[in-house]
């Protein structure tokens, strides 16, 4: 990352120069929002593809609306900035793009009003966030933050302490990741990814009103499943349903599509990657790398 180029306060610069003060409002109070966007490098074509970039920036602007942050760019302009940033970095490998909007004044005051906003983007080489062949997860003792406390549908920087606490406990207990329950005791999502389970051939996922992020990968997986003839249902999921599910998987920009093979010490299905998960993972990665002509509209090529 130290040698990469960033975009900050309207200019392209070395990432090491894109700095903020220790007194910055967002650093002190978590008053920022962000996105995570993947870019996939197709080595055969020697081509980099940015996956569903416009949808990510649309969600960023929705997060900004909730936090009363003003970004002086349209979705189209944000996409143009990001493509230029990718050209300047010229990574010939998979990469992760991090746009960040935040309250930038140097002030001690807990509010969202009357404070300067700032925006920046940086990019880093990025491989697998979790093993694609399967992970072990535990149900977290930490409850997923309720939407009436911190908006779940906004990617708020400060809210990720909820994730950090939960996933750190999972790692300390020897697991790869954790699963959040909401205030009603229903399954919400993984530490940083949406959750699906398969029961009797139906792909089931919690509704967006169960305190989960409105995931772009989630929507992609649901569409790919329907195209493959798999029935998709959105409904509440009980914790114990995960123990008797045929398959469980996580889906998100960072994790991509990952099977969960064990939950709370209980084997999921046969303890390996299930058939529906395998098909969805293959379909997702084929689309992301530009190998599936059906969803070229999901990609923006970096020429």
Task: Please state the domain extents for the chain.
Answer: 5-125, 135-288
110 neighbors 25 (Cβ within 8 angstroms): no
Rounded to an integer, the average pLDDT of 13-31 is: 97
CATH topology of domain 5-125: D-amino Acid Aminotransferase; Chain A, domain 1 (3.30.470)
Report the share of the chain in percent with pLDDT over 70.
Answer: 99
Residue 114 structure tokens: 């009357």
pLDDT at position 3: 79
- Structure-derived torsion over alpha carbons of residues 274, 277, 282, 287, reported in degrees to the nearest 10: 170
Q: What is the dihedral of CA 209, 57, 195, 51, to 10 degrees?
A: 150
Average pLDDT for 70-99: 97
Cα dihedral 16/22/23/26 (nearest 10): 70
Domains 5-125 and 135-288 share a fold: no
Residue of 278, 288, 283 whose CA lies nearest to 132 = 278
Q: pLDDT category, 2, cuts 50, 70, 90?
A: low
**The CATH homologous superfamily of the domain defined by 135-288:** D-amino Acid Aminotransferase, subunit A, domain 2 (3.20.10.10)
Catalytic residues: 155
Q: Confirm if 116 and 36 have CB atoms less than 8 A apart.
A: no
pTM for the predicted model, two decimal places: 0.95
Average the pLDDT over 99-124 and give the result: 97
Burial 17-56, CB ≥16 within 10 A → b, else e: ebeeeeebbbbbbbbbbbbbbbbbbbeeeebbbbbbbebb
**Residue 285, both tokens:** 């990665």
Span 153-163, mean pLDDT? 96
pLDDT tens track for 185-204 = 999 999 999 999 999 999 99
**What does the alpha-carbon distance between residue 14 and residue 7 come to, in Å, rounded to a whole number?**
8
pLDDT at 303: 83
Residues 231-272 have pLDDT tens digits of 999 999 999 999 999 999 999 999 999 999 999 999 999 999
> What pLDDT, on the 0 to 100 scale, is given for residue 262?
98
């Amino acid at each position: 990352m130290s040698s990469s180029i960033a975009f900050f306060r309207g200019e392209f610069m070395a990432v090491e120069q894109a700095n903020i003060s220790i007194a910055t409002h967002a650093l002190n109070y978590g008053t920022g929002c962000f996105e995570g966007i993947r870019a996939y490098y197709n080595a055969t074509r020697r081509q980099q593809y940015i996956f569903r970039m416009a949808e990510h920036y649309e969600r960023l602007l929705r997060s900004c609306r909730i936090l009363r942050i003003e970004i002086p760019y349209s979705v189209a302009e944000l996409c143009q900035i990001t493509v230029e940033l990718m050209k300047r970095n010229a990574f010939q490998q998979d990469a992760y793009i991090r746009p960040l909007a935040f309250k930038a004044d140097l002030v001690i005051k807990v509010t969202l009003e009357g404070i300067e906003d700032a925006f920046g983007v940086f990019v880093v080489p990025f491989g697998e966030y979790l093993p694609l062949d399967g992970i072990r997860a535990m149900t977290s003792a930490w409850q997923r933050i309720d939407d009436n406390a911190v908006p779940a549908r906004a990617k708020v920087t400060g809210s990720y302490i909820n994730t950090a606490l939960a996933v750190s406990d999972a790692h300390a207990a020897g697991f790869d990741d954790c699963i959040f329950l909401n205030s009603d005791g229903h399954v919400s999502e993984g530490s940083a990814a949406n959750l699906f389970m398969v029961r009797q051939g139906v792909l089931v996922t919690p509704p967006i009103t169960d305190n989960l992020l409105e995931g772009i990968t989630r929507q992609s997986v649901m569409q790919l499943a329907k195209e493959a003839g798999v029935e998709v249902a959105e409904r509440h999921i009980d914790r114990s349903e995960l123990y008797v599910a045929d398959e469980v998987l996580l889906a998100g920009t960072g994790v991509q599509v990952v099977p969960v093979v064990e939950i709370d010490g209980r084997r999921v299905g046969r303890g390996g990657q299930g058939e529906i998960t395998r098909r969805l993972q293959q379909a997702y990665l084929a689309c992301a790398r530009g190998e599936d002509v059906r969803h070229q509209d999901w990609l923006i090529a970096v020429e």
